[in-house]
Amino acid sequence: MPNRVPSASPTSKPASFSEAEPRGVAEGVSAKSNPSLLNEASFNWTNAMFSWQRSAYHFQPQKNWMNDPDGPLYHKGWYHLFYQYNPDSAIWGNITWGHAVSRDLIHWLYLPLAMVPDCWYDINGVWTGSATLLPDGQIVMLYTGSTNESAQVQNLAYPANLSDPLLLDWLKYPGNPVIVPPAGIETDEFRDPTTAWLGPDGTWRITIGSRFNETIGISLVYQTTNFTDYELLDGVLHAVPGTGMWECVDFYPVAINGSVGLDTSAFGPGIKHVLKASLDDTKVDHYALGTYDPVTDKWTPDNPEEDVGIGLKVDYGRYYASKTFFDQDKQRRILWGWINETDTETADLKKGWASLQTIPRSVLYDNKTGTHLLQWPVKEVESLRLNSTVFEEVLVEAGSIVPLDIGPATQVLSSRLALCLPKLTMSSNKCMEARFQCLTMKTTI
Protein backbone atom coordinates (compact mmCIF):
# COMPACT_ATOMS: atom_id res chain seq x y z
CA MET A 1 0.00 0.00 0.00
CA PRO A 2 1.75 3.21 -1.09
CA ASN A 3 2.20 5.54 1.86
CA ARG A 4 -0.08 8.54 1.87
CA VAL A 5 -0.35 11.58 4.12
CA PRO A 6 -4.02 11.50 5.19
CA SER A 7 -6.21 14.56 5.08
CA ALA A 8 -7.30 16.26 8.27
CA SER A 9 -10.63 14.47 8.29
CA PRO A 10 -10.64 10.87 7.02
CA THR A 11 -14.32 10.95 6.21
CA SER A 12 -14.39 14.35 4.53
CA LYS A 13 -14.72 14.70 0.78
CA PRO A 14 -13.42 17.33 -1.65
CA ALA A 15 -15.92 20.10 -2.25
CA SER A 16 -16.63 18.94 -5.76
CA PHE A 17 -15.42 15.91 -7.63
CA SER A 18 -16.77 17.37 -10.85
CA GLU A 19 -14.11 20.08 -10.78
CA ALA A 20 -10.81 18.97 -12.21
CA GLU A 21 -8.69 20.01 -9.23
CA PRO A 22 -5.85 17.52 -8.69
CA ARG A 23 -4.34 17.63 -5.23
CA GLY A 24 -0.69 18.29 -4.52
CA VAL A 25 2.16 16.08 -3.34
CA ALA A 26 1.72 17.19 0.28
CA GLU A 27 -1.71 15.59 0.34
CA GLY A 28 -0.26 12.23 -0.65
CA VAL A 29 -2.87 11.31 -3.20
CA SER A 30 -1.23 8.48 -5.14
CA ALA A 31 1.63 7.43 -7.33
CA LYS A 32 0.30 10.17 -9.57
CA SER A 33 1.62 12.75 -7.10
CA ASN A 34 4.71 12.91 -9.28
CA PRO A 35 5.09 16.62 -10.12
CA SER A 36 5.79 15.91 -13.77
CA LEU A 37 2.32 14.41 -14.06
CA LEU A 38 0.51 16.98 -11.97
CA ASN A 39 2.02 19.92 -13.80
CA GLU A 40 1.35 18.44 -17.19
CA ALA A 41 -1.52 20.09 -19.01
CA SER A 42 -4.43 17.70 -19.32
CA PHE A 43 -5.64 16.89 -22.82
CA ASN A 44 -9.15 18.10 -23.61
CA TRP A 45 -10.73 14.66 -23.47
CA THR A 46 -14.33 14.09 -24.51
CA ASN A 47 -16.70 11.47 -23.12
CA ALA A 48 -16.51 9.64 -26.43
CA MET A 49 -12.74 9.43 -26.10
CA PHE A 50 -13.03 8.13 -22.53
CA SER A 51 -15.52 5.42 -23.50
CA TRP A 52 -13.00 3.41 -25.51
CA GLN A 53 -10.29 3.73 -22.86
CA ARG A 54 -12.14 1.57 -20.37
CA SER A 55 -10.93 -2.03 -20.41
CA ALA A 56 -13.23 -4.84 -21.44
CA TYR A 57 -11.43 -7.70 -19.72
CA HIS A 58 -8.99 -6.32 -17.16
CA PHE A 59 -10.65 -6.06 -13.77
CA GLN A 60 -11.65 -2.59 -12.60
CA PRO A 61 -14.51 -1.22 -10.47
CA GLN A 62 -17.59 0.22 -12.08
CA LYS A 63 -16.34 3.68 -11.17
CA ASN A 64 -13.90 5.61 -8.96
CA TRP A 65 -10.36 4.99 -7.73
CA MET A 66 -8.73 1.58 -7.22
CA ASN A 67 -5.21 0.57 -6.23
CA ASP A 68 -3.60 -2.48 -4.56
CA PRO A 69 -5.08 -5.98 -4.88
CA ASP A 70 -5.87 -7.39 -1.41
CA GLY A 71 -6.35 -10.85 0.06
CA PRO A 72 -7.07 -12.83 -3.13
CA LEU A 73 -8.31 -16.35 -2.41
CA TYR A 74 -10.38 -19.27 -3.68
CA HIS A 75 -13.39 -20.40 -1.61
CA LYS A 76 -16.23 -22.80 -2.41
CA GLY A 77 -16.04 -22.44 -6.17
CA TRP A 78 -15.42 -18.70 -6.28
CA TYR A 79 -12.30 -16.62 -6.76
CA HIS A 80 -12.33 -13.58 -4.50
CA LEU A 81 -10.54 -10.31 -5.18
CA PHE A 82 -10.48 -7.52 -2.62
CA TYR A 83 -8.94 -4.20 -3.58
CA GLN A 84 -8.11 -0.73 -2.30
CA TYR A 85 -11.05 1.43 -3.30
CA ASN A 86 -12.38 4.96 -2.89
CA PRO A 87 -16.18 4.74 -3.08
CA ASP A 88 -16.47 8.52 -3.35
CA SER A 89 -14.10 9.65 -6.07
CA ALA A 90 -11.70 8.80 -8.90
CA ILE A 91 -8.75 10.01 -6.83
CA TRP A 92 -7.08 8.36 -3.83
CA GLY A 93 -8.76 8.77 -0.43
CA ASN A 94 -11.23 7.18 2.01
CA ILE A 95 -9.68 3.80 1.29
CA THR A 96 -12.02 0.86 1.83
CA TRP A 97 -11.96 -2.74 0.63
CA GLY A 98 -13.88 -3.34 -2.55
CA HIS A 99 -14.90 -6.94 -3.23
CA ALA A 100 -15.62 -8.95 -6.37
CA VAL A 101 -15.97 -12.65 -7.20
CA SER A 102 -15.51 -14.76 -10.29
CA ARG A 103 -15.83 -18.38 -11.37
CA ASP A 104 -13.02 -18.07 -13.92
CA LEU A 105 -10.83 -15.04 -13.00
CA ILE A 106 -12.11 -13.27 -16.11
CA HIS A 107 -15.79 -12.48 -15.62
CA TRP A 108 -16.44 -10.67 -12.34
CA LEU A 109 -19.44 -9.86 -10.14
CA TYR A 110 -19.27 -6.77 -7.95
CA LEU A 111 -20.20 -7.31 -4.30
CA PRO A 112 -20.84 -4.88 -1.42
CA LEU A 113 -17.82 -3.31 0.27
CA ALA A 114 -16.02 -5.84 2.46
CA MET A 115 -14.50 -3.44 5.02
CA VAL A 116 -14.75 0.29 5.59
CA PRO A 117 -12.67 2.67 7.75
CA ASP A 118 -14.93 2.85 10.79
CA CYS A 119 -12.69 2.09 13.80
CA TRP A 120 -9.94 4.16 15.44
CA TYR A 121 -7.32 1.67 14.23
CA ASP A 122 -8.27 2.02 10.54
CA ILE A 123 -10.20 5.30 10.40
CA ASN A 124 -7.65 6.79 8.01
CA GLY A 125 -7.86 3.81 5.69
CA VAL A 126 -8.31 0.05 5.46
CA TRP A 127 -5.04 -0.55 3.68
CA THR A 128 -3.37 -3.54 2.06
CA GLY A 129 -3.62 -7.05 3.50
CA SER A 130 -3.45 -10.76 2.76
CA ALA A 131 -5.55 -13.87 3.35
CA THR A 132 -4.44 -17.12 4.98
CA LEU A 133 -6.47 -20.32 4.66
CA LEU A 134 -6.01 -22.52 7.70
CA PRO A 135 -6.06 -26.35 7.63
CA ASP A 136 -9.40 -26.44 9.49
CA GLY A 137 -11.06 -24.30 6.82
CA GLN A 138 -10.90 -21.00 8.68
CA ILE A 139 -9.93 -17.85 6.76
CA VAL A 140 -7.96 -15.08 8.45
CA MET A 141 -7.33 -11.71 6.90
CA LEU A 142 -4.53 -9.50 8.17
CA TYR A 143 -4.47 -5.91 6.95
CA THR A 144 -2.83 -2.58 7.70
CA GLY A 145 -4.95 0.14 9.24
CA SER A 146 -4.04 3.81 9.36
CA THR A 147 -5.09 4.95 12.84
CA ASN A 148 -6.65 8.17 14.05
CA GLU A 149 -3.07 9.35 14.67
CA SER A 150 -1.86 8.14 11.26
CA ALA A 151 0.16 5.28 12.73
CA GLN A 152 0.22 2.04 10.76
CA VAL A 153 -0.96 -1.03 12.68
CA GLN A 154 -1.87 -4.57 11.67
CA ASN A 155 -5.42 -5.80 12.18
CA LEU A 156 -7.29 -9.08 11.99
CA ALA A 157 -10.60 -9.76 10.23
CA TYR A 158 -12.47 -12.95 9.33
CA PRO A 159 -15.67 -14.01 7.53
CA ALA A 160 -18.88 -13.85 9.53
CA ASN A 161 -20.15 -16.97 7.78
CA LEU A 162 -17.72 -19.48 6.28
CA SER A 163 -20.58 -21.41 4.70
CA ASP A 164 -21.32 -18.41 2.47
CA PRO A 165 -19.47 -18.97 -0.83
CA LEU A 166 -19.51 -15.23 -1.50
CA LEU A 167 -18.08 -14.26 1.91
CA LEU A 168 -20.28 -11.18 1.96
CA ASP A 169 -19.84 -10.20 5.60
CA TRP A 170 -16.54 -9.62 7.43
CA LEU A 171 -15.92 -9.11 11.12
CA LYS A 172 -13.06 -7.14 12.62
CA TYR A 173 -11.41 -8.71 15.65
CA PRO A 174 -12.48 -6.83 18.82
CA GLY A 175 -8.90 -6.83 20.11
CA ASN A 176 -7.45 -4.97 17.13
CA PRO A 177 -4.76 -3.95 16.49
CA VAL A 178 -2.92 -7.24 16.84
CA ILE A 179 0.51 -5.79 15.89
CA VAL A 180 1.82 -2.27 16.47
CA PRO A 181 5.08 -0.75 15.18
CA PRO A 182 8.01 -2.10 17.21
CA ALA A 183 10.70 0.06 18.79
CA GLY A 184 13.03 1.58 16.23
CA ILE A 185 10.50 1.43 13.38
CA GLU A 186 8.79 4.58 12.11
CA THR A 187 5.09 4.42 12.93
CA ASP A 188 4.12 5.45 9.41
CA GLU A 189 6.47 3.01 7.64
CA PHE A 190 5.17 -0.38 8.79
CA ARG A 191 2.63 -2.04 6.55
CA ASP A 192 1.19 -4.76 4.32
CA PRO A 193 1.32 -8.15 6.13
CA THR A 194 1.79 -11.20 3.92
CA THR A 195 -0.02 -14.50 3.74
CA ALA A 196 1.15 -16.61 6.68
CA TRP A 197 3.21 -19.78 6.31
CA LEU A 198 3.46 -22.66 8.77
CA GLY A 199 6.97 -23.38 10.02
CA PRO A 200 8.38 -26.81 10.94
CA ASP A 201 7.97 -25.89 14.61
CA GLY A 202 4.20 -25.68 14.20
CA THR A 203 3.94 -21.89 14.45
CA TRP A 204 2.74 -19.51 11.78
CA ARG A 205 4.87 -16.70 10.43
CA ILE A 206 4.18 -13.52 8.50
CA THR A 207 6.46 -10.82 7.20
CA ILE A 208 5.82 -7.06 7.09
CA GLY A 209 7.65 -4.41 5.09
CA SER A 210 9.45 -1.42 6.59
CA ARG A 211 12.75 0.45 6.45
CA PHE A 212 15.69 1.27 8.70
CA ASN A 213 17.64 4.53 8.74
CA GLU A 214 15.37 5.65 5.89
CA THR A 215 17.44 3.90 3.20
CA ILE A 216 17.55 0.21 4.13
CA GLY A 217 14.56 -1.79 2.97
CA ILE A 218 13.67 -4.55 5.42
CA SER A 219 11.17 -7.33 5.97
CA LEU A 220 10.31 -8.12 9.59
CA VAL A 221 9.13 -11.58 10.69
CA TYR A 222 6.46 -12.27 13.30
CA GLN A 223 5.30 -15.65 14.58
CA THR A 224 1.94 -16.64 16.03
CA THR A 225 -0.06 -19.69 17.03
CA ASN A 226 -3.52 -18.10 17.05
CA PHE A 227 -3.33 -14.98 14.81
CA THR A 228 -4.24 -12.72 17.72
CA ASP A 229 -0.91 -12.77 19.61
CA TYR A 230 2.38 -12.17 17.83
CA GLU A 231 6.07 -12.26 18.64
CA LEU A 232 8.63 -10.27 16.66
CA LEU A 233 11.57 -12.52 15.82
CA ASP A 234 15.17 -11.37 16.12
CA GLY A 235 16.71 -9.72 13.08
CA VAL A 236 14.92 -9.54 9.76
CA LEU A 237 13.94 -11.95 7.00
CA HIS A 238 16.09 -9.86 4.68
CA ALA A 239 17.40 -6.32 4.19
CA VAL A 240 18.91 -4.47 1.24
CA PRO A 241 20.71 -1.13 1.70
CA GLY A 242 19.76 1.68 -0.63
CA THR A 243 16.32 0.36 -1.53
CA GLY A 244 14.25 2.47 0.86
CA MET A 245 10.83 1.56 2.20
CA TRP A 246 9.56 -1.92 1.31
CA GLU A 247 5.81 -2.26 0.98
CA CYS A 248 3.47 -4.95 -0.34
CA VAL A 249 6.07 -7.62 0.41
CA ASP A 250 5.31 -11.08 -0.99
CA PHE A 251 7.06 -14.30 0.06
CA TYR A 252 6.30 -17.73 -1.39
CA PRO A 253 7.86 -21.03 -2.53
CA VAL A 254 8.33 -22.29 -6.08
CA ALA A 255 9.23 -25.79 -7.22
CA ILE A 256 12.54 -26.10 -9.07
CA ASN A 257 11.22 -28.97 -11.18
CA GLY A 258 7.49 -28.88 -11.58
CA SER A 259 4.55 -27.47 -13.48
CA VAL A 260 2.28 -26.66 -10.53
CA GLY A 261 2.24 -23.98 -7.87
CA LEU A 262 2.94 -24.58 -4.19
CA ASP A 263 1.07 -23.77 -1.01
CA THR A 264 2.72 -20.91 0.85
CA SER A 265 3.81 -23.26 3.65
CA ALA A 266 5.58 -25.71 1.32
CA PHE A 267 9.20 -26.37 2.24
CA GLY A 268 11.87 -28.96 1.51
CA PRO A 269 14.26 -30.19 -1.20
CA GLY A 270 13.65 -28.89 -4.69
CA ILE A 271 12.10 -25.63 -3.51
CA LYS A 272 13.26 -22.03 -3.87
CA HIS A 273 11.66 -19.05 -2.19
CA VAL A 274 10.70 -15.81 -3.94
CA LEU A 275 11.01 -12.55 -2.02
CA LYS A 276 9.32 -9.60 -3.67
CA ALA A 277 9.01 -5.99 -2.51
CA SER A 278 7.34 -2.91 -3.92
CA LEU A 279 9.78 -0.03 -3.55
CA ASP A 280 8.01 3.06 -2.27
CA ASP A 281 10.80 5.34 -3.50
CA THR A 282 10.65 4.23 -7.13
CA LYS A 283 7.17 2.68 -7.39
CA VAL A 284 8.65 -0.47 -8.95
CA ASP A 285 8.14 -4.14 -8.00
CA HIS A 286 11.36 -6.15 -7.62
CA TYR A 287 11.93 -9.80 -6.78
CA ALA A 288 14.74 -12.27 -6.28
CA LEU A 289 15.06 -16.05 -5.93
CA GLY A 290 16.79 -17.50 -2.93
CA THR A 291 16.90 -19.95 -0.03
CA TYR A 292 14.84 -19.72 3.13
CA ASP A 293 16.13 -21.15 6.41
CA PRO A 294 13.09 -21.98 8.60
CA VAL A 295 15.28 -22.35 11.70
CA THR A 296 16.87 -18.91 11.59
CA ASP A 297 14.00 -17.34 9.59
CA LYS A 298 16.47 -15.78 7.21
CA TRP A 299 16.31 -15.63 3.41
CA THR A 300 19.46 -15.52 1.27
CA PRO A 301 19.42 -14.49 -2.41
CA ASP A 302 20.93 -16.84 -4.97
CA ASN A 303 22.72 -13.90 -6.57
CA PRO A 304 23.52 -10.96 -4.25
CA GLU A 305 24.16 -8.79 -7.27
CA GLU A 306 20.50 -9.20 -8.26
CA ASP A 307 19.06 -8.84 -4.78
CA VAL A 308 15.58 -7.47 -4.07
CA GLY A 309 15.35 -3.91 -5.32
CA ILE A 310 18.55 -3.90 -7.36
CA GLY A 311 17.93 -6.70 -9.84
CA LEU A 312 14.93 -8.33 -11.47
CA LYS A 313 11.59 -6.58 -11.81
CA VAL A 314 8.25 -8.36 -11.64
CA ASP A 315 7.08 -6.29 -14.60
CA TYR A 316 8.81 -3.65 -16.71
CA GLY A 317 5.73 -1.53 -17.39
CA ARG A 318 3.41 0.59 -15.29
CA TYR A 319 2.90 -1.96 -12.55
CA TYR A 320 2.94 -2.00 -8.73
CA ALA A 321 1.79 -3.56 -5.43
CA SER A 322 1.59 -7.08 -6.83
CA LYS A 323 0.37 -9.99 -4.75
CA THR A 324 0.16 -13.75 -5.29
CA PHE A 325 -2.06 -16.46 -3.83
CA PHE A 326 -2.14 -20.25 -4.08
CA ASP A 327 -5.13 -21.56 -6.01
CA GLN A 328 -5.76 -24.86 -4.25
CA ASP A 329 -8.42 -25.81 -6.80
CA LYS A 330 -6.08 -25.87 -9.79
CA GLN A 331 -2.77 -26.21 -7.92
CA ARG A 332 -1.24 -23.02 -9.25
CA ARG A 333 0.12 -19.73 -7.92
CA ILE A 334 -1.63 -16.69 -9.33
CA LEU A 335 -0.22 -13.19 -9.52
CA TRP A 336 -2.22 -9.96 -9.39
CA GLY A 337 -0.79 -6.50 -10.03
CA TRP A 338 -2.05 -2.94 -10.01
CA ILE A 339 -1.77 -0.81 -13.17
CA ASN A 340 -1.98 2.80 -12.02
CA GLU A 341 -1.89 4.23 -15.54
CA THR A 342 -0.37 7.58 -16.50
CA ASP A 343 -3.46 9.77 -16.81
CA THR A 344 -3.45 12.96 -14.79
CA GLU A 345 -5.87 13.25 -11.89
CA THR A 346 -7.66 15.89 -13.92
CA ALA A 347 -8.39 13.30 -16.58
CA ASP A 348 -9.33 10.69 -13.96
CA LEU A 349 -11.88 13.04 -12.43
CA LYS A 350 -13.37 13.71 -15.85
CA LYS A 351 -13.73 10.07 -16.78
CA GLY A 352 -14.86 9.02 -13.29
CA TRP A 353 -12.49 6.08 -12.81
CA ALA A 354 -8.81 5.36 -12.33
CA SER A 355 -6.60 2.29 -12.51
CA LEU A 356 -7.11 -1.39 -13.30
CA GLN A 357 -5.67 -4.76 -12.39
CA THR A 358 -3.55 -6.88 -14.69
CA ILE A 359 -4.97 -10.03 -16.15
CA PRO A 360 -4.07 -12.62 -13.47
CA ARG A 361 -0.96 -14.62 -14.30
CA SER A 362 0.29 -18.04 -13.29
CA VAL A 363 3.80 -18.07 -11.81
CA LEU A 364 6.39 -20.83 -12.07
CA TYR A 365 10.13 -21.21 -11.59
CA ASP A 366 12.07 -21.03 -14.85
CA ASN A 367 14.14 -24.21 -14.65
CA LYS A 368 15.83 -23.42 -17.96
CA THR A 369 17.57 -20.30 -16.68
CA GLY A 370 17.43 -21.09 -12.97
CA THR A 371 17.40 -17.36 -12.33
CA HIS A 372 13.94 -16.10 -13.24
CA LEU A 373 10.22 -16.63 -12.78
CA LEU A 374 7.92 -17.52 -15.65
CA GLN A 375 4.66 -15.59 -15.86
CA TRP A 376 1.77 -16.37 -18.20
CA PRO A 377 -1.86 -15.20 -18.36
CA VAL A 378 -4.16 -17.73 -16.70
CA LYS A 379 -5.56 -20.27 -19.14
CA GLU A 380 -9.09 -18.96 -18.59
CA VAL A 381 -8.25 -15.89 -20.68
CA GLU A 382 -8.59 -18.11 -23.74
CA SER A 383 -12.36 -18.11 -23.15
CA LEU A 384 -12.36 -14.58 -24.57
CA ARG A 385 -11.31 -15.84 -27.99
CA LEU A 386 -14.69 -16.11 -29.67
CA ASN A 387 -13.66 -16.11 -33.32
CA SER A 388 -10.70 -15.66 -35.60
CA THR A 389 -9.88 -13.62 -38.67
CA VAL A 390 -7.29 -14.83 -41.17
CA PHE A 391 -5.33 -12.52 -43.47
CA GLU A 392 -3.24 -14.17 -46.18
CA GLU A 393 -0.88 -12.90 -48.84
CA VAL A 394 -0.94 -9.33 -47.58
CA LEU A 395 1.93 -7.40 -49.14
CA VAL A 396 3.44 -4.65 -47.01
CA GLU A 397 5.78 -2.58 -49.09
CA ALA A 398 8.51 -0.37 -47.72
CA GLY A 399 7.07 2.77 -46.13
CA SER A 400 3.47 1.65 -46.60
CA ILE A 401 0.63 1.28 -44.11
CA VAL A 402 -1.85 -1.54 -44.60
CA PRO A 403 -4.96 -1.35 -42.38
CA LEU A 404 -6.40 -4.66 -41.15
CA ASP A 405 -9.90 -4.91 -39.73
CA ILE A 406 -9.46 -6.92 -36.53
CA GLY A 407 -12.63 -5.76 -34.77
CA PRO A 408 -12.98 -3.61 -31.63
CA ALA A 409 -9.79 -2.70 -29.81
CA THR A 410 -11.12 -4.21 -26.59
CA GLN A 411 -11.10 -7.75 -28.01
CA VAL A 412 -8.25 -10.10 -27.21
CA LEU A 413 -6.01 -10.36 -30.25
CA SER A 414 -4.12 -13.61 -30.63
CA SER A 415 -2.31 -13.85 -33.91
CA ARG A 416 0.18 -15.98 -35.78
CA LEU A 417 2.08 -13.69 -38.09
CA ALA A 418 4.39 -14.90 -40.85
CA LEU A 419 6.81 -12.25 -42.09
CA CYS A 420 9.23 -12.50 -44.96
CA LEU A 421 12.03 -10.03 -44.27
CA PRO A 422 15.13 -9.23 -46.30
CA LYS A 423 18.28 -10.69 -44.83
CA LEU A 424 21.48 -8.94 -45.90
CA THR A 425 24.42 -11.23 -46.63
CA MET A 426 27.92 -10.73 -48.08
CA SER A 427 28.26 -12.25 -51.54
CA SER A 428 31.42 -13.72 -53.00
CA ASN A 429 32.23 -10.41 -54.71
CA LYS A 430 32.00 -8.65 -51.34
CA CYS A 431 28.80 -6.83 -52.27
CA MET A 432 25.73 -6.85 -50.02
CA GLU A 433 22.79 -8.78 -51.41
CA ALA A 434 19.30 -9.22 -49.98
CA ARG A 435 17.76 -12.60 -49.42
CA PHE A 436 14.42 -13.21 -47.80
CA GLN A 437 14.12 -14.88 -44.41
CA CYS A 438 10.65 -15.84 -43.22
CA LEU A 439 9.78 -15.64 -39.54
CA THR A 440 6.67 -16.80 -37.73
CA MET A 441 5.60 -15.00 -34.59
CA LYS A 442 2.71 -15.64 -32.24
CA THR A 443 1.38 -12.65 -30.33
CA THR A 444 -1.32 -12.14 -27.75
CA ILE A 445 -2.54 -8.66 -26.89
Q: Which of 180, 190, 183 is nearest to 127 (CA)?
A: 190
Distances (CA, A) of 168 to 75, 159, 381: 12, 8, 26
Catalytically annotated residue among 68, 250, 297, 348: 68
Give yes or no for a contact between 324 and 73, defined as CB atoms under 8 angstroms apart: no
SS3 28: coil
Would you call the peptide bond into 177 cis, given omega within 30 degrees of 0 as the criterion? yes
> Annotated catalytic, 229?
no
- Secondary structure letter of residue 39 according to DSSP: S
Residue 251: how many CB atoms within 10 A of its CB?
23
Beta-bridge partner residues of 294: none
Q: Which of 224, 215, 287 is nearest to 245 (CA)?
A: 215
Give yes or no for a contact between 24 and 38, defined as CB atoms under 8 angstroms apart: yes
Rounded CA gap, 94 and 89, in Å? 9
Residue 270: how many CB atoms within 10 A of its CB?
12
Tell me whether strands 64-75 and 353-354 are parallel, antiparallel or unpaired: parallel
Rounded CA gap, 261 and 362, in Å? 8
Task: State the catalytic residues.
Answer: 68
